[in-house]
Amino acid sequence: MNGKHTAGLGGSVALGTIHPFGPHNSSRNSFLKMVAKEMDFLMAEPKARRIIAYAAVNIVCVFILLLWCHSTNSMALTAYSYLAIFDLLRLLTALITLWVQKQGPSSVFSFGYERFEVLAVFSSTMLAQLGSFFIIKESVERMIQQPDVHEGRLLLGALVAFLVHIFMTYSVENKAFNHVVEASSSSWLQEHVADISEGFCKVVPGLSRLLLPRINPFALIAFAGATALFVTYVLIDMYNYQAADTWAAMCISVMTFGTMFPMAVYSGMILLQTTPTYVIGQLDKCLREASTLDGVLEFRNEHFWTLSFGKLKYPYGNFSDGIVLFVDGICVFSYSQVVY
């Protein structure tokens, strides 16, 4: 309908078809179309379809676990179920990694999209730590007035959460988290378990392949949390010690925070464009060698930083197997020794 005007007391009134959301939702529609296009492009990969299928199973398991947490009134089971939510974030990170591998540099992202997976790892670990703080806060409130915990589905919920977490840890190839686990520093839980494992390996040397040098932190937190829930079930069932659930929830939260903290620090340092500490010695050697080149007088404002996990880049190419020297943003020297 074409717009018309009719005279009134206050002036002219516009008549016709009004589209209140027409000009305002164009950007939103374009964004949704872009996301749908990228998803169609990504679904051509069998790995992406498998990850999405695992994510659907994970969502169903999380829904069931949260229902059991409500029926049992167990804070420890809730803290352990948060690991399944973290697994969902890890699957999303693996999906982002697959998408990043198919993308190239653009005018907006001249270095490519590798930092997206770094941001995904950092966000996932930070959300896991925030969830731990939430559980600790709720546990402190429960210490004042401890409610009754129904242990009927406590062990079943612990078993389901354990199997889901172990399955998602070892069934999906997650290059981003695998790199962070290997490159980041050990958590306090890994260090204590490593000390205990050394004693076992002296008695049974064959266990060194499994327990040393350090256990996967995601598998370790799964075993530790399941053990805490089993002890909680025994104390409540045999001695009616309801406060054991609260203490177990705090222990699981502290272990989760200690496990995620080193990975969050490692990915956060990459986002802050800091120089990796393990290459500082070789970078100094590069600077000394570069200073002997003809025409090089001095270095000013040199900046060494990691673009993504294990990659140093500059606008003219990739150097994942060496060191690149930046002087005012320009690559002037490369050192061809493998450092990653």
DSSP 27-67: HHHHHHHHHHHHHHHHTTSHHHHHHHHHHHHHHHHHHHHHH
- Higher-confidence residue of 264 and 197: namely 264
- Within a domain: 6: no
Residue partners of 278: CB distance under 8 A and separation at least 6: 339
How large is the average pLDDT for residues 35-63? 85
| Residue 143 sits in the same domain as residue 166 | yes
- Among residues 230, 255, 272, which one ends one of the domains? 272
Tell how strand 312-314 and strand 11-15 pair up. unpaired
> Chain-wide mean pLDDT for the chain?
78
Residue 174, H or E segment: none
| Residue 46 sits in the same domain as residue 74 | yes
d(CA 304, CA 273): 8
pLDDT above 70: percentage of residues in the chain: 72
CATH number where 177 lies: 1.20.1510
Q: How many domains does the chain have?
A: 2
- Within a domain: 60: yes
- Within a domain: 246: yes
> Which tens digit of pLDDT belongs to each residue from 146-169?
888 888 889 999 999 999 999 998
Domain span holding position 163 = 42-272
| Residue 136 sits in the same domain as residue 191 | yes
Q: Is 185 a residue whose pLDDT tops 90?
A: no
SS3 8: strand
| Residue 237 sits in the same domain as residue 321 | no
| Residue 241 sits in the same domain as residue 284 | no
d(CA 280, CA 85): 37
- Higher-confidence residue of 268 and 209: namely 268
pTM of the model: 0.77
| Residue 93 sits in the same domain as residue 240 | yes
Provide the pLDDT for residue 204. 61
> Which tens digit of pLDDT belongs to each residue from 120-146?
999 999 999 999 999 999 999 998 888
- Among residues 272, 289, 313, which one ends one of the domains? 272
| Residue 258 sits in the same domain as residue 284 | no
| Residue 265 sits in the same domain as residue 293 | no
